[in-house]
Structure 1
Amino acid sequence: MRILHTSDWHVGKVLKGRNRFEEHTRVLAQVIEIARAEKPDLVIVAGDLYDTAAPTADATRLVTRALSALRQTGARVVAIGGNHDNGQALDALRPWADAAGIELRGSVRDNLNDLLIEGMTEGGERWRVVALPFLSQRFAVRAAEMYELTEAEAHQTYADLMARLLAKLSEPFAEPGVVNLVTAHLTMVGASAGGGEREAHTIMGYAVPATVFPPNAHYVALGHLHRAQRVIAPCPTRYSGSPLAIDFGEEENVCSVAIVDVSVDKAAQVRDVPVTSALTLRTVRGTLEQLATVNLPDAWLRVLVREAPRPGLREDVQEMLPNALEVRIDPDMLPERSGARSAERAGRSPRELFGDYLDSRGNAEDGVRELFDALYDEVSSTQ
């Protein structure tokens, strides 16, 4: 059978104030075209369909239409909730999803059998997939236990619970003659972060060892980390990565979806199909004179300016480079900061602290201190 594995769409993502809805529309259209060309039996979307737990109407419309279009290619579609998704809101869409022939699992419910999905390809090959949405440590480990456990004990408890949960869900894998699959949204020990994930949910407290997955699984389709990668595990395990770079930390990632060919008696063969519809993300640095030579009209830019800070510098750069979403002074231009501050904050006036800040940034622009003094006096007089 053939599987198209994708994840971490993050529809609704705003990058440095710039809405990327048109890019997401193009990216998902390309994913659908890949599905039409590759003719998978099953499409797995391994979480983070949305970038926020409260998606806009446009974002919801785009995601539901994309899932419907993938189903219309003839493939079965299984989608799970990620840490950015509102699991209960996804579950509320179950009546629509069921009517559309889409297997949508937003959160872990009391009925664990609901997380085991079975099917058969047109060629008569049976498959089953354990569909495990994101399960937070706070939900998995009771609050009372969290207070009683050390940090290391809480991490281990979470990993043990995930291992037991996956072992229970995968008990039917003992039946021969079926392609056994797992999809989950989590962090694995030893995997590489893509650069734009939410730090709170990728720290080691949420990481689980590869041993949580059943060795008799034919393929494990993971979501959560945005870099496409294979993970060493007892069974073939892979992150598909995000089909577009979510933030500037991901500018080196190769955006793609994974096409997996697997059968009961054939090891999973995986190849990545690039997704190129979104603008690339690039970091450029230099003086204003050097930046004037930059020609990257098809990229969003993070600009590190090698100039002394001054009012209006950002505007000058953005006039020169309209696609510059982030403009900062190059860190190499800033004075080195020692671990100990040159002066204590306690007992110092706001004027003195602001003066120290300007000095630390090398800002000697005339009038800045005077403007701060005037604003401070105005605010102070109204209190």
Structure 2
Amino acid sequence: MRILHTSDWHLGRSFHREGLLGHQSAFMDHLLDVVTSEKVDVVVVAGDVYDRALPQVDAVRLADETLARLASSRAAVVVSSGNHDSAQRLGFGSRLIDTAGVFLRTDARGVGTPVLLGDEHGEVAFHALPYLDPTAMMEPWSLPVRSHEVVLTEAMRRVRADLATRPGVRSVVLAHAFVAGAAPSESERDISVGGVSRVPTSLFDDIDYVALGHLHGSHTLDERIRYSGSPLAYSFGEADQLKGSWLIDLGGSGVCAAEFVEAPVPRRLARLTGDLETLLTDPRLDIHGHDWLHVTLTDQLRPPQAMERLRRRFEHTLVLSFSPAGALLPTAPQTRATGRRDHDIALDFVRELRGVPASPAESALLLEACDACGDDTDLDTATGVD
């Protein structure tokens, strides 16, 4: 049986206010091409189909089109919900949709009931675990404590109870969790409870393949346990990650081959660091003309209109930060000296922040702002300015 493992589509997500739906649609086209070219039997999606519980209309439309296309393909589809999804909305109509070969598993009450699919070696039990919030599951499952490890331990107990009734049947588990041994990215929503969110790989002992979701980088924890990662980079911290899906061959006795299938990159991400003049003139940076950029300026003084000037060369500059070369670390805030005017304190702040004093026009504007916020809005007696 050939399985294509993907996760964390996050349909409807934006990237620093740039819409990604067109890029996500390109990935869906790629996914369908892989199903056809690689003769995929089952596509598994390990959570976070949508980016938010109430997805935008265009994101729902793309999900609908993708699942309809997959239903018309050669592959069956098994989908579990993630922590970004609304289990009720994603799972709506799942019993009807099952008949099309698309199995949406979002309800915790179904944990322990597999999707059974077969090949020449017999049946494979796909146990798709929806994201299980420890707080929500404490009462219905009578859990002794609130933790991800405890709730997943109970879920896997139910999975194994089912598998015990199916001797010789191979098993695939989909889970949306932070499993020890993998590193998170900055774009993932924290799912920790009391500071503890990791669960051990031992929870999945004796499972033939574990398709994990939640982390946006691909990881191989062992030959049986993998994260596919997200199909697109959703933060600049993911700029160097290779995005794609896992193509898994499940033989008669377990995983016999695994291949990572790279996803298309509609627009690359890059980080540039340097002084503004160099960034605007260095011909070696021409390769980044169409990239989404996070730029860090190292100028001693903040250049005026830096973002506008950068965007004239790099139109997709999205984030601008400053880290002056040789700058001292910030000192602890100074207590206000008795009798000092607000205007003087504001001028000191500007001088410390930029390294140069405020201009006369800026000083006048700051004075006007201080007077407007003070008790006496009529006159600054120290300067005679109304």
Shorter-chain TM band: 0.7 to 0.9
Amino-acid identity (%): 27
1:104 maps to 104
2:184 matches 1:196: no
For the 8 Å contact 2:42–2:75, the answer to whether it is kept is yes
1:317 maps to 310
| CA distance in structure 2 between the aligned counterparts of 1:346 and 1:5, rounded to whole angstroms | 65
Q: Partner amino acid for 1:280?
A: R
SS in 1 for 2:108: coil
Shift of 1:82: 0.8
Q: Partner amino acid for 1:6?
A: T
2:62 maps to 62
- Pair 1:319–1:88, CA change in 2 (3 A): same
| CA distance in structure 2 between the aligned counterparts of 1:254 and 1:62, rounded to whole angstroms | 24
Q: Which is worse superposed, 61-70 or 361-370? A: 361-370
2:271 matches 1:272: no
Residue deviations 1:304-340 (CA, integer Å, cap 9, x gap): 11222254222222222111011111365653124x4
SS in 2 for 1:242: coil
Shift of 1:72: 2.1
Q: Partner amino acid for 1:315?
A: E
Shift of 1:173: 2.4
Shift of 1:277: 3.4
- Pair 1:52–1:266, CA change in 2 (3 A): closer
Give unmatched runs, 5+ long, in structure 1.
Answer: none
Q: Partner amino acid for 1:112?
A: V
Q: Give the total of aligned pairs.
A: 368
TM-score, normalised relative to structure 1: 0.86
TM-score, normalised relative to structure 2: 0.85
- Pair 1:352–1:88, CA change in 2 (3 A): farther
| CA distance in structure 2 between the aligned counterparts of 1:347 and 1:118, rounded to whole angstroms | 78
- Pair 1:202–1:38, CA change in 2 (3 A): farther
For the 8 Å contact 1:335–1:360, the answer to whether it is kept is no
| CA distance in structure 1 between the aligned counterparts of 2:342 and 2:11, rounded to whole angstroms | 42
Q: Partner amino acid for 1:80?
A: S
1:326 maps to 319
Q: Partner amino acid for 2:91?
A: D
- Pair 1:355–1:84, CA change in 2 (3 A): farther
2:118 aligned residue (111, 117, 120): 120
Shift of 1:350: 6.3
2:168 matches 1:173: no
2:19 matches 1:26: no
For the 8 Å contact 1:305–1:329, the answer to whether it is kept is yes
2:287 matches 1:287: no
For the 8 Å contact 2:273–2:298, the answer to whether it is kept is yes
| CA distance in structure 2 between the aligned counterparts of 1:212 and 1:269, rounded to whole angstroms | 23
2:2 maps to 2
Q: Which is worse superposed, 64-73 or 282-291? A: 64-73
| CA distance in structure 1 between the aligned counterparts of 2:304 and 2:96, rounded to whole angstroms | 53
1:220 aligned residue (210, 226, 231): 210
For the 8 Å contact 2:276–2:303, the answer to whether it is kept is no
2:367 aligned residue (329, 349, 373): 373
Give unmatched runs, 5+ long, in structure 2.
Answer: 378-386
Shift of 1:195: 3.5
- Pair 1:95–1:297, CA change in 2 (3 A): farther
Shift of 1:93: 4.2
2:207 matches 1:208: no
2:36 matches 1:36: yes
1:138 maps to 135
Residue deviations 1:319-378 (CA, integer Å, cap 9, x gap): 22111011111365653124x434369999865664454344225352434323324544
- Pair 1:381–1:42, CA change in 2 (3 A): farther
Equivalences for residues 295-306 of structure 1 within 5 A: 295=286, 296-306=288-298
- Pair 1:277–1:370, CA change in 2 (3 A): same
For the 8 Å contact 1:154–1:205, the answer to whether it is kept is no
For the 8 Å contact 1:285–1:330, the answer to whether it is kept is no
Residue deviations 1:276-327 (CA, integer Å, cap 9, x gap): 2331111011122221232213321111112222542222222221110111
For the 8 Å contact 2:290–2:314, the answer to whether it is kept is no
For the 8 Å contact 1:10–1:51, the answer to whether it is kept is yes
SS in 1 for 2:270: strand
- Pair 1:332–1:176, CA change in 2 (3 A): farther
| CA distance in structure 1 between the aligned counterparts of 2:200 and 2:373, rounded to whole angstroms | 54
Shift of 1:177: 3.0
- Pair 1:348–1:282, CA change in 2 (3 A): farther
Residue deviations 1:153-206 (CA, integer Å, cap 9, x gap): 744xx4123112212123232333322110010001221113321235599522
1:248 maps to 236
